[in-house]
Structure 1
């Protein structure tokens, strides 16, 4: 083999064998950290992301200060992109625009000229049309940057250097806030009032052992640029003590009297709310009938501020309209996530930690600045000492210089004769004759004395931390006096405000749902208990071909989880369902829940009935059972959540709350029932299908699920109106996925099982038929008999009517 041909073994030695999983994991981690540290999260020291920092530094290098003329935005963007931030001009310009908007930043860092967008969501003009320069307060972020106060690093192409962080004479992270989404984490720091934050910083410097409540005596809460109100102080306390919190931000509005009618006028909006879109949504709700009592809606905003006028109809209840607006439009949630980079690592910080990191940064900046100034002062004092010595020996110095052959010879002669240093000798040979006058001598003496004092001051600062902290405090006070202003956002107590729900009486209701998705709410008190075997009374005027599919009890103020045959879960409040008379048809459920055309409610769970340590246990028509932690349903989107994945042809039929230690009992349409320990159905995620619960035979299907409680009985009601109560003790515990035992005899008299419930002696039952006959009876009136019996007549049905649904009214009602 030729010697110049590489050996295959040599080529193989250059190849590393790695697992693709390991390489993908490491590459993704590298990418994630790049996004976290290099783009999305602010540094706790100056409160800036890299793009903000680079824009300000580029403007500083360009000389575009608050005292210079405005410069075309395209020029600023071009310099930033070309020298420091190679991520595209649109990202840089969008950031520049936001830094100039007084409705986006509490203290804008850019002074813009031209169209920089509006609170209506209008975009800024193209960068070739707008101009910008630094605002005065942004220059405070760069003060002393030329004095080696911060570290610099190479830019992206190693051609220039850029600062790793700005000196930041203001605590900018809290003052202007920050928001961003990284990989697997996000930050959302609200803006604050400059005076309050500086007062808290000074308090922390004076008392490093102070508590967060002590600091909150100064920082009352976030201070948004658009004003408005923060409702309640608990969320603020949580945000400051844990770094996380959910603030309720409410618009500022007032009432006016206009032509014998009342008018609601909105003058301040929650932070980051689009004014134009808000007006559109209110108008849409008025047209749809969701908000009643409004006759006219106008946006009267101008340069002086926001003004949205809402005229009310004659006789309209202003309290109701006001609180409907609050519930749907005039309140927003601001989720605080005080996440920032500390030494390059993301950390969630409380209020005190945030200020502590800032103070440490300022200590480092002032120390490095003092060291730089000290070095400069010592160098200048050294030169002045040489000049003074030269003036004391002026004749000899002049004669010596005149006798030298050249400048280098003069410097050597001066150093030899008068012991000048090289720097002093260089300065003396370059002196002009005019500087040898007596007046010049006096000026040098004064400058030298001032330098000696400055050197002593700087040495004291560097030797004594209390002096250094005193400098920081004094500079903060100067900034507070220069830029401080009054708070814009008010903090109001939540208990002082009447909400829309408070205007609705709290009462227990029956909610009726039909197969064609009509729904309505009726007071339970409208139905008096009857004796067993009655016909009931009409509960709805159904349209032709429609049938009742479900009836359930709920309080008007309850939060309800509604489960559908498609395995989805929705959340509503009891009062979201319109209250109607017994003979009314109801309202289309499409106006309340975002249901598909063939989707219907099959189970309802009151969220007040469970806590995070409990489970929602579900059963499907084909006999699958699954348990999911209740906490998985804490946040339900308006479009619903998947509660269970179903195989084709299957449907979710029942859901109940369990604690993990009970026995479950599944009942079928043909009268079979199986009881097994809940632990045999392991807890699963929301989207799981579940496991087999009962082995169905002969086309049988599941109708319901209950938990076995020996102090109660199993109520079984058939479609033909017969029923019975049976002690749970008669249903022995078996293994999951068995055939079960006979619960009730079905046949021509009884018909298939319609529903099962767990009841006590003192409960009431509400039985609903397909044709909307409703009957309320005492559970004790239904005979308590053994398993494998026919039961007794519970409700007499006319014609081909059938029992559709049963619900329990607990004894406490």
Structure 2
């Protein structure tokens, strides 16, 4: 049987612009992610899933000290009543709240396999059990006393708290991580006792600056310990703005062995670093020969972390070895700070340390006032009931007679003794066992106690100073429970300054020192052959390409590259491709303009002086150290303008300069006529009518000028013999002496 498709009613079809529809729906999704998933509430520091988890466990009566229940039961209640999301996502959130290496103050007491610092997952929820911790109890304390607002759950069948009372400073104590739409949050954990001290200071000094609060909160306190190596000024700036980061290093010490041997033992690693992945990374670097100072690594951890690093030799500097590990592995980690939270539960905002504590304190005051008002209501109701009881005991026989004889005793009681509806109902519901003489004294005693409490609470509600005094008292109780002398409250993360080491020494410590031979082709392809290779006849090049430069170096060497644009670039020899194949273009390692070409490539030695010159015959002396570049863009040394270009660089080795142009005219003049500069165009070395510079050389006048002809013969002439070619800088020069090569070149300058 075929079904007939019924066309839609034209009146039900509406034209909507696609752009508007997408914007509306995407904004709704973004708002949902920001408000209900990724960002914590500044008041209790919880995201909805964590808040619902704790509330569901409270409803299941999983208080500290109570019997454990299966996590599957907890997750089932959470997704069935409050949080309509995947069970695995909810269980993952539950597991994290129980991991003492993930959260500083766990809110769930887990029984069973809840994962470990190696990155292993927790067991399935049907195997694990959980209950609340004392921290969670503090977060939930007061829910039955109208401390916070409730709202309907997603299906309207239950009620859930909008925010928890939060007697514990959870936002900063446990921190939060989350990625929303267009924003993220990253709050590292802190020490609860320090937060309480800072909050108490803020109660006494509401306008306290972040720097004053840092007297109590020097920095984060991570579950896994470690050392923060940032300066106090850097930490203060991060706390003031709410944005920044913290450099955290592993804690280590040196253990001495027999006959002068020693080991490095790592006992604490940075927060959120998986230990097994860290060991794998160190092993990979060892295999790749990028840790020449390290001999071996092994994991001897049991309940406590113990990573053992063996040096390659006992003469190795332990500090330098660790610096190389910090640079290449997660033994040093940067923990971000981005205190993006929901202020008042509604507005996403990046706040500083002062405002974060202020939000918590203001919330505690709201909770205190609401609980006090709720208690006043309870007391008023109880006093009303006690008043009715007292009337009943004073007129007991008459009350019993009315109840026995009247069909509707309630209105008669109310009329006879001028009782309220509440009092009459209480008398009628009273148990017979309470009808004893002693009860009157107990009623009067309870009445007096309640009236005294009522006066105290009324004074509290009406006085802001009394409210802050009460809040301070509560905070001191929290501080006592999680003080620095308690196992959970003791500070775990320390502070230190990173030792000063020469960057070159650290770089060298990360590469094994081996001899290599650098080969550069005419088209700018570079490679590093292993060992010192003198016979390059077997080295292959691409079609239409050939050898341009070759020289010995070491894997730890830095190479200087001069290009025709007058820029010097720096290469790490240890990062160059090996001898197999044709190598790689130099342009992959430096940002050199397309029209620029290589002038020279040579190893950096340090301390030398160079004479650099352009094709137009301008040049100057520059220190080799000034030619080192820190970035891929290189360092401009010789200023040239097209069509002029950098032509030569030679090492300064004497007191005289010999210059020959493309017009084959030779000029010799003293080196002291050439200035030493760090950057510039330089001065004119030789004047040309046509062409430009061909070659130049520095030499010692007492030894004379040498050159090599095409047959390989070496010629040397003294300054006296070269008298007719001697002159001053910027002269034109004369044709060279007999025997000078037709190529117009002295020899390889470098």
Give yes or no for the alignment of 1:479 onto 2:382. Answer: no
Quick one: distance in 2 between partners of 1:133 and 1:387? 42
Which residue number in structure 2 is paired with residue 328 of structure 1?
Answer: 328
- The structure-2 alpha-carbon separation of the partners of 1:161 and 1:219, relative to structure 1 and needing over 3 Å to count, comes to same
- The structure-2 alpha-carbon separation of the partners of 1:119 and 1:263, relative to structure 1 and needing over 3 Å to count, comes to same
* SS, match of residue 601 in structure 1: helix
- The structure-2 alpha-carbon separation of the partners of 1:273 and 1:513, relative to structure 1 and needing over 3 Å to count, comes to farther
Quick one: distance in 1 between partners of 2:156 and 2:709? 90
* SS, match of residue 195 in structure 1: helix
* SS, match of residue 273 in structure 1: coil
CA contact (8 A) 2:520 2:550 kept: yes
Cα distance, 1:539 vs structure 2:
13
Which residue number in structure 2 is paired with residue 311 of structure 1?
Answer: 310
- The structure-2 alpha-carbon separation of the partners of 1:202 and 1:400, relative to structure 1 and needing over 3 Å to count, comes to same
Cα distance, 1:54 vs structure 2:
1.1
Give yes or no for the alignment of 1:191 onto 2:178. Answer: no
- The structure-2 alpha-carbon separation of the partners of 1:562 and 1:459, relative to structure 1 and needing over 3 Å to count, comes to farther
Quick one: distance in 1 between partners of 2:246 and 2:351? 17
Quick one: distance in 1 between partners of 2:107 and 2:15? 51
Quick one: distance in 1 between partners of 2:364 and 2:383? 27
Which residue number in structure 1 is paired with residue 676 of structure 2?
Answer: 762
- The structure-2 alpha-carbon separation of the partners of 1:562 and 1:326, relative to structure 1 and needing over 3 Å to count, comes to farther
* SS, match of residue 445 in structure 2: helix
- The structure-2 alpha-carbon separation of the partners of 1:204 and 1:164, relative to structure 1 and needing over 3 Å to count, comes to same
- Higher mean C-alpha deviation, range 542-551 or range 111-120: 542-551
Cα distance, 1:350 vs structure 2:
0.2
Cα displacement string for residues 669-695 of structure 1 (whole angstroms, at most 9, x for unaligned residues): 9x9xxxxxxxxxxxxxxxxxxxxxxxx
CA contact (8 A) 2:210 2:353 kept: yes
* SS, match of residue 263 in structure 1: strand
Which residue number in structure 1 is paired with residue 514 of structure 2?
Answer: none
Within 5 A, what are the aligned runs for 1:61-140? Answer: 61-140=59-138
- The structure-2 alpha-carbon separation of the partners of 1:540 and 1:49, relative to structure 1 and needing over 3 Å to count, comes to farther
CA contact (8 A) 2:176 2:185 kept: yes
Quick one: distance in 2 between partners of 1:185 and 1:428? 60
Within 5 A, what are the aligned runs for 1:596-675? Answer: 598-601=584-587, 604=590, 619-621=593-595
Quick one: distance in 2 between partners of 1:82 and 1:48? 20
Quick one: distance in 1 between partners of 2:97 and 2:156? 28
Within 5 A, what are the aligned runs for 1:226-625? Answer: 226-232=224-230, 233-260=232-259, 261-303=261-303, 305-312=304-311, 313-329=313-329, 330-343=331-344, 344-404=346-406, 406=407, 409-484=408-483, 485-494=489-498, 497-499=499-501, 501=503, 503=505, 514-515=520-521, 516-518=525-527, 544-545=539-540, 547-548=547-548, 577-578=572-573, 587=574, 589-590=576-577, 598-601=584-587, 604=590, 619-621=593-595
Give yes or no for the alignment of 1:716 onto 2:703. Answer: no
- The structure-2 alpha-carbon separation of the partners of 1:432 and 1:95, relative to structure 1 and needing over 3 Å to count, comes to closer
CA contact (8 A) 2:110 2:130 kept: yes
CA contact (8 A) 1:764 1:779 kept: no
* SS, match of residue 162 in structure 1: strand
Quick one: distance in 2 between partners of 1:7 and 1:134? 57
CA contact (8 A) 1:374 1:455 kept: yes
Which residue number in structure 1 is paired with residue 20 of structure 2?
Answer: 22
- The structure-2 alpha-carbon separation of the partners of 1:433 and 1:320, relative to structure 1 and needing over 3 Å to count, comes to closer
TM-score by length of 1: 0.68
Cα distance, 1:160 vs structure 2:
1.6
Gapped regions of structure 2 (runs ≥ 5): 1-5, 484-488, 509-516, 542-546, 564-568, 600-613, 617-633, 651-660, 666-673, 698-706, 711-741
- The structure-2 alpha-carbon separation of the partners of 1:458 and 1:590, relative to structure 1 and needing over 3 Å to count, comes to farther
TM-score by length of 2: 0.73
Cα distance, 1:398 vs structure 2:
2.9
- The structure-2 alpha-carbon separation of the partners of 1:719 and 1:793, relative to structure 1 and needing over 3 Å to count, comes to closer
CA RMSD of aligned residues (A): 4.4
Quick one: distance in 2 between partners of 1:708 and 1:318? 42
Q: Which of 783, 802, 810 matches 2:686?
A: 783
Quick one: distance in 2 between partners of 1:283 and 1:220? 35
CA contact (8 A) 1:720 1:749 kept: no
Cα displacement string for residues 452-478 of structure 1 (whole angstroms, at most 9, x for unaligned residues): 111112211211111122221111111
CA contact (8 A) 1:54 1:80 kept: yes
Quick one: distance in 1 between partners of 2:463 and 2:244? 39
Cα displacement string for residues 542-572 of structure 1 (whole angstroms, at most 9, x for unaligned residues): 6734645799xxxx999x99999xxxxxxx9
Quick one: distance in 2 between partners of 1:466 and 1:271? 40
- The structure-2 alpha-carbon separation of the partners of 1:219 and 1:789, relative to structure 1 and needing over 3 Å to count, comes to same
Cα distance, 1:346 vs structure 2:
1.2
* SS, match of residue 645 in structure 2: strand
Which residue number in structure 1 is paired with residue 654 of structure 2?
Answer: none
Quick one: distance in 2 between partners of 1:113 and 1:801? 86
Quick one: distance in 2 between partners of 1:370 and 1:187? 34
CA contact (8 A) 1:383 1:423 kept: yes
* SS, match of residue 620 in structure 1: coil
* SS, match of residue 376 in structure 1: helix
Higher-Rg structure is: 2
Cα distance, 1:211 vs structure 2:
1.0
- The structure-2 alpha-carbon separation of the partners of 1:652 and 1:80, relative to structure 1 and needing over 3 Å to count, comes to farther
Cα distance, 1:335 vs structure 2:
1.2
Cα displacement string for residues 55-101 of structure 1 (whole angstroms, at most 9, x for unaligned residues): 11111111222222111111111111111112211111111111110
Which residue number in structure 2 is paired with residue 680 of structure 1?
Answer: none
Quick one: distance in 2 between partners of 1:481 and 1:109? 18
Consecutive aligned runs of 4 or more in structure 1 exceeding 6 Å deviation: 538-543, 560-564, 704-710, 746-750, 795-803
Cα distance, 1:708 vs structure 2:
11
Cα displacement string for residues 19-39 of structure 1 (whole angstroms, at most 9, x for unaligned residues): 322222222121111111111
- The structure-2 alpha-carbon separation of the partners of 1:319 and 1:491, relative to structure 1 and needing over 3 Å to count, comes to closer
Equivalenced residue count is 618
Cα distance, 1:362 vs structure 2:
1.1
- The structure-2 alpha-carbon separation of the partners of 1:561 and 1:11, relative to structure 1 and needing over 3 Å to count, comes to farther
- The structure-2 alpha-carbon separation of the partners of 1:328 and 1:505, relative to structure 1 and needing over 3 Å to count, comes to closer
CA contact (8 A) 1:40 1:180 kept: yes
CA contact (8 A) 2:403 2:409 kept: yes
Cα distance, 1:165 vs structure 2:
1.1
- The structure-2 alpha-carbon separation of the partners of 1:764 and 1:147, relative to structure 1 and needing over 3 Å to count, comes to closer
* SS, match of residue 310 in structure 1: strand
Q: Which of 31, 40, 59 matches 1:33?
A: 31
Quick one: distance in 1 between partners of 2:417 and 2:635? 107
Quick one: distance in 2 between partners of 1:749 and 1:164? 90
Which residue number in structure 1 is paired with residue 718 of structure 2?
Answer: none
- The structure-2 alpha-carbon separation of the partners of 1:236 and 1:577, relative to structure 1 and needing over 3 Å to count, comes to same
CA contact (8 A) 2:527 2:584 kept: no
- The structure-2 alpha-carbon separation of the partners of 1:39 and 1:797, relative to structure 1 and needing over 3 Å to count, comes to farther
Cα displacement string for residues 395-434 of structure 1 (whole angstroms, at most 9, x for unaligned residues): 3333333332x2xx32211211111001101111232343
Quick one: distance in 2 between partners of 1:267 and 1:54? 36
Quick one: distance in 1 between partners of 2:270 and 2:65? 33
CA contact (8 A) 2:561 2:598 kept: no
Quick one: distance in 2 between partners of 1:410 and 1:80? 47
Quick one: distance in 1 between partners of 2:148 and 2:314? 66
CA contact (8 A) 2:663 2:692 kept: no
* SS, match of residue 295 in structure 2: strand
- The structure-2 alpha-carbon separation of the partners of 1:98 and 1:550, relative to structure 1 and needing over 3 Å to count, comes to farther
Cα displacement string for residues 277-311 of structure 1 (whole angstroms, at most 9, x for unaligned residues): 111222222232211233332211112x1111122
CA contact (8 A) 2:323 2:506 kept: no
